[in-house]
Structure 1
Amino acid sequence: MKDFINKLYRNHSFIYKGLLFICTTFLIVYLFPKSGKFKYNFEKGKPWQSENLYAPFDFAIRKSDDEITKEKADLNNNSILYFNIERAVVDDVRKNYIIAFEEVFSDSIPNTQLKKISNVGETIISELYTYGILADNYKFSDEKTIALLDGRTEIKRTVFSNLVEQDEIAVVINEILKTNNLTNYKTEFVSLFFDLIEPNLTFDKSFTDKVLQEEINKISYARGSIEKETLIVSKGEVVEGDKFQILQSLKSEYESQVWSKANYNWVIAAYTLLVALALLMLLLFLRKYRVSVFENNTKVTFIFFNILLMVFLTTLIIDYNSKYIYVVPICILPLVFKAFFDARLGLFAHVITVLLLGFVVPNSYEYMFLQIIAGIVTILTISELYKRANLFISVGQITLIYIIAYFAFFIIHEGTVETIEWNVFGLFALSGLATLFVQPLIYVYEKLFGLVSDVSLLELSDTNSKLLKELSNTAPGTFHHSLNVANLAEASANEIGANAMLVRVGALYHDVGKMKNPTYFTENQSTGINPHDELSSKESARIITNHVIEGIEIAKKNNLPDRVIDFIRTHHGTSVVYYFYMQEKKNFEDVDKADFSYPGPKPFSKETAILMMCDSIEAASKSLKEPTSTKIDAFVENIINKQIEDGQFLNANITFKEIQAIKKVLKLKLANIYHLRIEYPE
């Protein structure tokens, strides 16, 4: 049991990666839409590339979205508007009219004329209430069909223009009076009917909507059917018009049949295998080409988390409305990975993610082409993410590539630009704006996963930071030495294509441990008194080597990132404090070399190896007397060759060719520092 536990402990990193791999695979499959995949790929306006296709079963031809939308619009335009009529209103108006008429018109009018006036009043009421008077003003078409309801019983149909609005009452009265030559009584009639006439029609919106919805529900989503074994499309035939719609119908029917209860587990298993295969390729890439990333579980978790996040966001948009698929800023992925790792890893992970999304997005080939091209442009255009202008320029280029590629695909599919959907370009612009969110996202990731980006390195390189200020005040000589080393290291890193920003920051902080005992280091001794004179060689060596351990403690206390602390750990590797070691050997024959050696480890990257070379060269260069270019060349060669002989660079992925390039840079820089002229051959 104990051996089993020990074995688990030894392999805990591998076990964690396995669990992470399994969990991510199942989560991605869970996020996928629950439908099968049609086994043929086809695009509108392009030839059918597969063999002749015969109907595998009977299926209905589905109407296109445009057809369904048109039918709904026609129903809406031709729908009937229902108004409730209150019949009692007319009876009340007639009764009140008889009473009001006697009050308005005097007895002095002859009976014959009075009878005529009374009859005209009755005519006005009949005309106004032939169909009814509206209780409110409505913005409906004059030709719209109207149904009048008494309770829920339809009693009459007409058009909207026959209904009387309240501001039309005076017009109706005036026209009838003109017809009967009674315009001189207009004032009396208007006054009479002003308080008398009441509206009797109210719009029944709920009933109207209910009837319309019932009609919409009756719409058939199919038009005709295809029988089994019927030839659908021949090889080489252009897919367009009805052919395209029939294929779309077959695809929908096929996917719904594949994703049945009987086949559910098989389809899930197939999706799981494909997703697992894609993620496995990513892990194998990390193991072969990015070993440092593969061995760091936090970094592997970070990569898998970002891939899962992009799949989640995309499936979320697809579930809502697949038309907005291009709003998801997929190009954030290579930007983030390039900020924390490198361009090659960023592009590889981006391609894997796009391949996974190809399972779920509509027009998968078009989508994958656009996203992969955009990812390549992202990697090629973003160089220094901490420079804000670079990010804006890159986002502009990405958006432009999206627009150009989409435009080309649309022409291929439709053969014209007349029906192009310009709103899609707006979606690309929104995606570009969302990509700018990468800056705050990088900051969040730094805090959550303990990673370091170039933006953070730029902040750390500020010599006015608290820790570097303290170093310059406590150990000014060491601070000056660190600045010189930073300049040498940055130039060397640029020469071989290493991370110049990282190595510069590492150089600035590599000797912070000397703040504990600054006067024990020669660069800080300004009085001519050497405190080592009162110590044994072993004690002096221990103080010198301890500045590495003390530097790590100070760095952790000041929350410096691990990538920077690595420079403090490795800048002396396992080298020997040679001066005190030789002093001890003069007095004792049997001397343990370990007592005079730095604790290590040896440099394990190009950047840490560069720092070791530059630190040794800069420190030792102070002892050069009457330097010439020949002396400097020999000096640089001797120091770096000694480090190579001691095996200090065995763990670093740096080549002899790169070391030679660094030597060349250091020789040139030292020659410039000492203002040497170039020696021309005789």
Structure 2
Amino acid sequence: MGKTLDNVYKHQSLVYKYFLYVVTVALIVFFFPKEGKFKYDFQKGKPWQYENLYAPIDFSIKKTPEEIEEEQTSIRTNKTDYYTFDASVVVNVRKVVGEALNTSLQTSAYNPQQRSELLNLAQTVVDVVYTDGIFQEIPDSKAIAVVKNNEAQPLSPSNFLNLEKAKVKISETLSQANVLGSSAIGTVIQNSLAPNLFYNETLTESAINDQLSKISYTRGEVAQGKLIIAKGNIVEAEDFKILTSLRDEYESELWMGSNYYFILLGYLILVALVLIMLFLFLKRYRDEIFLNNNKVTFIFFNILLMVLATTLMVKHYESYIYVVPLCILPLVLKNFFDARLGLFVHVLTVLILGFVVPNSFEYIFLQIIAGIVTILTASELYKRANLFISVGQITLIYIIGYFAFHAIHEGNLDNIEWELFGVFVVNGLLTLFAQPLIYMFEKIFGLVSDVSLLELSDTNSKLLKELSDKAPGTFHHSLQVANLAEAAANEIGANAMLVRVGALYHDIGKMENPTYFTENQITNVNPHDDLPPKESAKIIIDHVINGIEIARKNKIPDRIIDFLRTHHGTTTVYYFFKKQQELDPEVDVDSFKYPGPIPFSRETAILMMSDAVEAASKSLKNPTFAIIDEFVEKIVKGQMQANQFLNANITLKEIEMVKKVLKLKLTNIYHLRVEYPE
């Protein structure tokens, strides 16, 4: 048991990676939608590449969302408006008319029989006018139903009456009666009229909803065994609808019973394979990152973040899947690591999402192309304009890609979903969130981005101000080295901002004993004259250790501290070694060597060359082109012979390019001119 625990402790880094791998695979599969995957991939307008397909089950042909929406629109457009017939209004009008006529006829010359006839005529006219009812205003709708005595009866537009039309109808009816005194009756009735048909919004909406609920979401059945499509046939619009219906039916039934466990196993295997590829890539090509659990966790966290966001969108808002700013992933990874890793992780993430998104080929194609554009265009993100330009190009790629796929599928430009262009614009705006996201990741995972490097390069920062006060010569030397190293990095395509910051801080350890370094000695007094060579060498070598301690106290990122550790590699403090050798021929050279490690990147190798060349150039007297050329060649050759660049991924061609830049810069520093003949 104890031996097992010891093995776990010794290999805890590897155990953590196994744990991270298993948890990530489990979480990704957990996020996936709980449905199977149709085994055929098809697109409208493309030939069917598989064998003849016969219906494996009975299924219904589903209507498209457009067809359903069209039916719903038709129902609302052709709806019947319901109006309630208020009988109490008619009773009230009859009463008012009767009272008014009784009063007026009492004082007239009519006998009782005539008065009775006129009253009956008036009530008859009122009943005629209110047979279908009177609207306040003539409705625009042509389909009207009047609810009278709890029964709805359709009303023809020819029978629509408002108060004005009702008054005309009263006059026409009385004129046809040809009764003495009808004009007086007409005036009384017209003055007493009131509308009695009122819009019943509740009943109208209820009727609409009832019709909407009766809409069928299918149109026809396909019997088991029926030929759906033959091999080589083009997937036409109708074929596409049938295949889509079969896919939906198949996927909904597949994730049931024992099928569930097989599908789950399949997802686990596929996701596990994809993430194994990531581990293999890191192990083979990015061993430094692979050995750093913090960086590995950061990469897996970003993959999980994108998978979670996309799967949630697939579950709830499938049509807006392109809102998820997947290009943030390569942006962030390129900013913290390199372009190749960023693109590789992006492609693997897109492959994982291809299992669950609709139109997977289209999705994978667009996302990979957008990722490549992101890698090719996004550089120096600390410059705000660069991010906006990159996001604009990404958005344009999405729009062009969608336009091309639509043209292929439809064969025309009809039915373009214009809202998708808005989705792509939203995607671009969300991609701009990469900047604050990078800042958050820096604080959470302790990583360094170009934005942080820009802040660290400020010579007014606390630590660099302290260096300029305590060791002004070293500060000036650091500035010169930074200029040389930055120019060399730009020449070979290395991270110029990183190497510049590393150069500015590489000698901060000299603040502990500034006068023991020649660039800070302002008099002819050299404190090394009073020290044995071995002790002098120790003071010189210790500036590396002191610098690392100072950097850690000031929370300088490890990525910058790497330059402090490696800028002398395992070279020898040759001057004091030779002095000690004169005193003791058997001296151990290892006690005069820097602790290392040797440079392990192009940037740290550039700094080593630039630092050595700049420091030694102070000893040049009356330099010429030939002297500078020989001088640089000698220093770099000595470093190569000491195997200082074995671990740095810098080629001989790049070293030659660096030497060329150093020679040119030194020539400019010493203001050399071409010597013209007299």
- On whether the aligned pair clears a TM of 0.5, the verdict is yes
Does the 8 A contact of 2:81 with 2:199 survive in 1? no
1:672 deviates by: 2.5
Aligned to 2:123: 122
Aligned equivalents of 1:679, 1:604: Cα separation in 2: 41
Deviations, residues 93-137 of structure 1 (Å, cap 9, x unaligned)? 43344335556x475444389768756753564356434456x87
| Distance in 1 (alpha carbons) for counterparts of 2:414 and 2:605 | 61
Aligned to 2:178: none
Describe the SS at the equivalent of 1:180. helix
Instruction: Show the counterpart of 1:46.
Output: 46
Residue 95 of structure 2 corresponds to residue 95 of structure 1: yes
Contact residue 604 and residue 652 of structure 1 kept, 8 A: yes
**d(CA) in 2 for partners of 1:191, 1:145:** 27
- Compute the RMSD of aligned alpha carbons: 2.9
User: Does residue 645 in structure 1 map to residue 647 in structure 2?
Assistant: no
- TM superposition shift of 1:486: 0.7
Report the CA distance between 1:270 and its aligned residue. 0.5
Please state how far the C-alpha of 1:341 moved relative to its aligned partner: 1.4
Choose 479-488 or 49-58, whichever is displaced more: 49-58
Q: Identify if the C-alpha distance between structure 1 residues 614 and 124 changes in structure 2 by more than 3 Å, giving closer, same or farther.
A: farther
* Counterpart Cα distance in 1 of 2:596 and 2:118: 119
Deviates more, 1:171-180 or 1:8-17: 171-180
Give percent identity, aligned residues only. 58
Deviates most, 61-70 or 279-288: 61-70
Does residue 1:154 correspond to 2:151, yes or no?
Answer: yes
Q: 1:247 pairs with 243, 247, 267, which one?
A: 243
**Whole-Å Cα distance in 2 between the matches of residues 161 and 522 of structure 1?**
111
AA aligned to 2:22 is I
Give the 3 Å change call, closer, same or farther, for CA 124–27 of structure 1 in structure 2: farther
From 417, 426, 430, give the equivalent of 2:426: 430
Whole-angstrom CA distance in 1 between matches of 2:401 and 2:152: 60
Closer, same or farther: CA 430–620 of 1 in aligned 2, 3 Å: same
Residues 644 and 231 of structure 1, relative CA distance in 2, 3 Å threshold: same
Structure 1 distance, partners of 2:232, 2:390, is 41
Instruction: Tell me the SS of whatever aligns to 2:263.
Output: helix
Q: CA deviation at 1:202?
A: 5.4
Deviation track 1:195-225 (CA, whole Å, cap 9, x = no partner) reads xx474645151x4444433433333333332
Q: 1:189 to 1:49 in 2, by over 3 A?
A: same
Structure 1 SS opposite 2:246? helix
1:331-480 map, 5 Å = 331-480=327-476
Following TM superposition, by how much is the alpha carbon of 1:425 offset from its aligned partner in structure 2, in angstroms? 1.9
CA contact (8 A) 2:45 2:410 kept: yes
Q: Residues 126 and 512 from structure 1, CA distance in 2 versus in 1: closer, same or farther, beyond 3 angstroms?
A: farther
Shift of 1:302: 1.5
C-alpha distance after superposition, 1:589-622 (max 9, x if no partner): 5545454333322222111111111111111111
Aligned counterparts, 1:549-560, within 5 A: 549-560=545-556
Pairing partner for 1:172 from 166, 170, 181: 166
User: CA 1:587 to 1:124, structure 2 compared with 1: closer, same or farther past 3 Å?
Assistant: farther
1:583 aligns with 2:584: no
- Give the 3 Å change call, closer, same or farther, for CA 449–100 of structure 1 in structure 2: farther
Indicate if the aligned counterparts of 1:80 and 1:147 stay in contact, CA closer than 8 A: no
Matched, 1:203 2:197: no
Which residue type is aligned with residue 411 of structure 1? A
Match of 1:497 among 493, 496, 508: 493
Deviation, 1:178, is 6.2
Is contact 2:129–2:170 with CA below 8 Å preserved after alignment? no
- The residue that corresponds to 1:25 in the other structure is 25
Q: CA deviation at 1:160?
A: 7.6
CA contact (8 A) 1:85 1:202 kept: no
Specify the code of the residue in structure 1 equivalent to 2:127.
Answer: S
In structure 2, relative to structure 1, the CA distance for the partners of 1:119 and 1:483 (3 Å cut) is farther
More displaced 10-residue stretch of structure 1: 178-187 or 250-259: 178-187
Secondary structure class of the residue paired with 2:271: helix
Partner of 2:661: 665
- For residue 420 of structure 1, give the secondary structure of its aligned residue in structure 2: coil
1:48-83: CA deviation from partner (whole Å, max 9, x where unpaired): 111111222322222333332333333334444444
- Matches of 1:118 and 1:262 in 2, distance apart? 85
Report the 3-state secondary structure (helix = DSSP H, G, I; strand = E; otherwise coil) of the residue aligned with 1:111. coil
8 A contact 2:87–2:196 mirrored in 1: no
Aligned partner of residue 229 in structure 1, secondary structure: coil
**Could you list the runs of 5+ residues in structure 1 that have no partner in the other structure?**
none
Structure 2 CA distance for aligned equivalents of residues 571 and 127 of structure 1: 109
Q: Distance in 2 between matches of 1:300 and 1:593?
A: 39
In structure 2, relative to structure 1, the CA distance for the partners of 1:148 and 1:545 (3 Å cut) is same
TM-score, normalisation: structure 1: 0.90
SS of equivalent residue, structure 1 residue 467: helix
Q: What one-letter code is carried by the residue in structure 2 that aligns with 1:156?
A: Q
Does the CA contact (< 8 Å) of 1:174 and 1:183 recur in 2?
A: no
Structure 1 residue 324: Cα displacement: 1.3
How high is the TM-score relative to the length of structure 2? 0.91
CA distance in 1, matches of 2:350, 2:129: 69
Separation in 1, partners of 2:332, 2:580: 52
Structure 1, 568-577 or 45-54: larger mean CA deviation: 568-577
Relative to structure 1, the CA distance from residue 188 to residue 98 in structure 2 (aligned partners, 3 Å threshold; closer, same or farther) is: closer
How many angstroms apart in 1 are the aligned matches of 2:440 and 2:108? 94
Cα displacement (A) at 1:448:
1.6
Residue 526 to residue 185, structure 1, CA distance change in 2 (3 Å):
farther
- Answering whether residue 614 of structure 2 is matched by residue 615 of structure 1, we say no
* Separation (CA, whole Å) in 2 of partners of 1:159 and 1:170: 18
Deviates more, 1:644-653 or 1:339-348: 644-653
The answer for the alignment partner of 1:37 in structure 2 is 37
Look up the equivalent residue of 2:8 and give its one-letter code. L
- Deviation readout 1:231-287 (Å, 9 max, x if unpaired): 211111111132222222222222222222220010111011111111111221111
Q: Deviations over 1:359-418 (max 9, x none)?
A: 111111111111111211222222332222222222222222222222121111111113
Query: Does structure 1 retain, via aligned residues, the 8 Å contact 2:90–2:130?
Result: yes
1: CA distance between counterparts of 2:534 and 2:447? 39
Letter in 2 for 1:154: E
Q: Take 1:90 and 1:53, find their aligned partners in 2: how far apart are those partners?
A: 69
Equivalent of residue 299 in structure 2, options 289, 293, 303: 303
The 1:66/1:627 distance shift into structure 2, 3 A limit, reads closer
Q: Which of 316, 326, 338 is the aligned partner of 1:320?
A: 316
For residues 261 and 236 of structure 1, what CA distance do their matches in structure 2 show? 35
- Contact kept? 2:453, 2:501, Cα under 8 Å: yes
Match of 2:212 in 1: 216
Q: How many residues are treated as equivalent by the alignment?
A: 669
Unaligned runs of 5+ in 2: 176-181
The one-letter code matched in structure 2 to 1:398 is I
Distance 1:26 1:98 in 2: 86
Q: Distance in 2 between matches of 1:632 and 1:201?
A: 102
CA–CA distance in 2 between the matches of 1:161 and 1:526? 112
* Alpha-carbon distance between aligned partners in 2 of 1:149 and 1:592, rounded to the nearest angstrom: 117
Supply the distance in 2 between the matched residues of 1:50 and 1:368 (Cα, whole angstroms).
21
Q: Distance in 2 between matches of 1:561 and 1:121?
A: 101
Q: Is the 8 A contact 2:122 2:185 kept in 1?
A: no
Identify the residue that residue 143 of structure 2 maps to in structure 1: 144
Compared CA separation, residues 110 and 569, structure 1 to 2 (3 A): farther
Match of 1:73 in 2: 73
Cα distance in 2 for partners of 1:86, 1:245 equals 50
Q: Distance in 2 between matches of 1:491 and 1:190?
A: 99
8 Å contact from structure 1 (residues 461, 505) kept in 2: yes
Provide the secondary structure at the position in 1 that maps to 2:257.
Answer: coil
Deviation at 1:635, TM superposition (A): 2.4
Match of 1:570 in 2: 566
1:130 aligned partner, one-letter code: T
* Bigger shift: residues 590-599 or 240-249: 590-599
CA contact (8 A) 1:569 1:600 kept: yes
Matched, 1:3 2:3: yes
* Contact 1:146–1:160, Cα closer than 8 Å, also in 2: no
For residue 485 of structure 1, report the CA deviation from its aligned partner.
0.5
